[in-house]
Amino acid sequence: MIGSGNVAIVRGGGDLATGIIYRLWKIGFKVLCLEIPKPLVVRMTVSAALAVFEGECIVDNMNVRLIDDLNKIYMHDDVSIIVDPEGESINIIRPALVVDAIMAKKNIGTNINMAPLVIGIGPGFVAKKDVHYVVETKRGHYLGRLIEEGMAIPDTGIPGVEMGYSIERLLRAPCDGYIDHKKDIGDHVEPGDLIGKVGREEIRATIPGMLRGLIHPSVCVKKGLKIGDIDPRNVREHCFSITDKALAISGGVLEAVCRELLQS
């Protein structure tokens, strides 16, 4: 099977990757997303990876379908997602574009020879060596910038500040196991509210706001893993639409695509 010039493959289906998928789909690319069997996504309601769990999902009026046969990407106009952690689909499809948006903070297998245009999202990639371009993911002045040489700013492990809160926004697994949700994404929480349990260990809110993310209950989590987040801005609609950060990053991807089209 040989892919045509309008096929794009995005490795990863989290919320930032989904912003990229959305933009590529909107401008006419046939998009295939590659994921792992149990995605560790937290912002499930705005992640293409939700389709791995549910068979299909809709994000900002974009339909995403789970497929088990690569030929099926040509049978509909929706975004396709397939379980393919090793990226074997890339050699089969031979796409025009590969975007690594796994957000692993390191390169776990993407290389510059995978497609005519290969883009790495965030830290871990060297432009002109591992990939053709890198897109900056750190919030601030450089967010979404296209990097032609070198790397993105190293990850600090500290989330951006919203209304004075940073690390306090995150929810982490208190122990190994599966989370039993007591709240849902889109619920308002106050400090002390029970959000869920992992085994007998409770997960309680420490700040007021909107519960914006929760990891899927079928995923076995490890102690300390990020399993949710609270948005102190407390706007429920934000839980169900692609973020400004994701769209800014996708702008860097579109810049790279336009550059290559104009130069070809």
Chain segment 1-55, per-residue pLDDT in tens? 334 569 999 999 999 999 999 999 999 999 999 999 999 999 999 999 999 999 9
Question: Over the stretch 82-91, which tens digit does the pLDDT of each residue have?
Answer: 999 999 999 9
CATH topology assigned to domain 167-232: OB fold (Dihydrolipoamide Acetyltransferase, E2P) (2.40.50)
The percentage of the chain sitting over the pLDDT mark of 90, rounded to a whole number, equals 90
Residue 149 to residues 88, 126, 131, 155, 260, Cα–Cα distance (Å): 27, 7, 10, 18, 16
Query: What pLDDT does 155 receive?
Result: 84
The domain segmentation of the chain, as residue ranges, is 7-155+244-263, 167-232
**Tokens coding 62:** 């974009």
pLDDT score at 2: 35
Q: What is the mean pLDDT of residues 126-147?
A: 97
Is pLDDT of 243 > 60? yes
pLDDT digit string, tens, across residues 109-134:
999 999 999 999 999 999 999 999 99
Residue 132's pLDDT is: 97
Question: For residues 252 and 134, what is the distance between their CA atoms, to the nearest angstrom?
Answer: 9
pTM: 0.95
CATH for 7-155+244-263 (1.10.110, 3.40.50, 3.20.20, 3.40.30): 3.40.50
Residue 184 reports pLDDT greater than 60: yes
Could you tell me which residues are beta bridge partners of residue 64? 57, 79
- The answer to whether residues 12 and 120 touch, using CB atoms and an 8 Å cutoff, is no
pLDDT of 1 reads 35
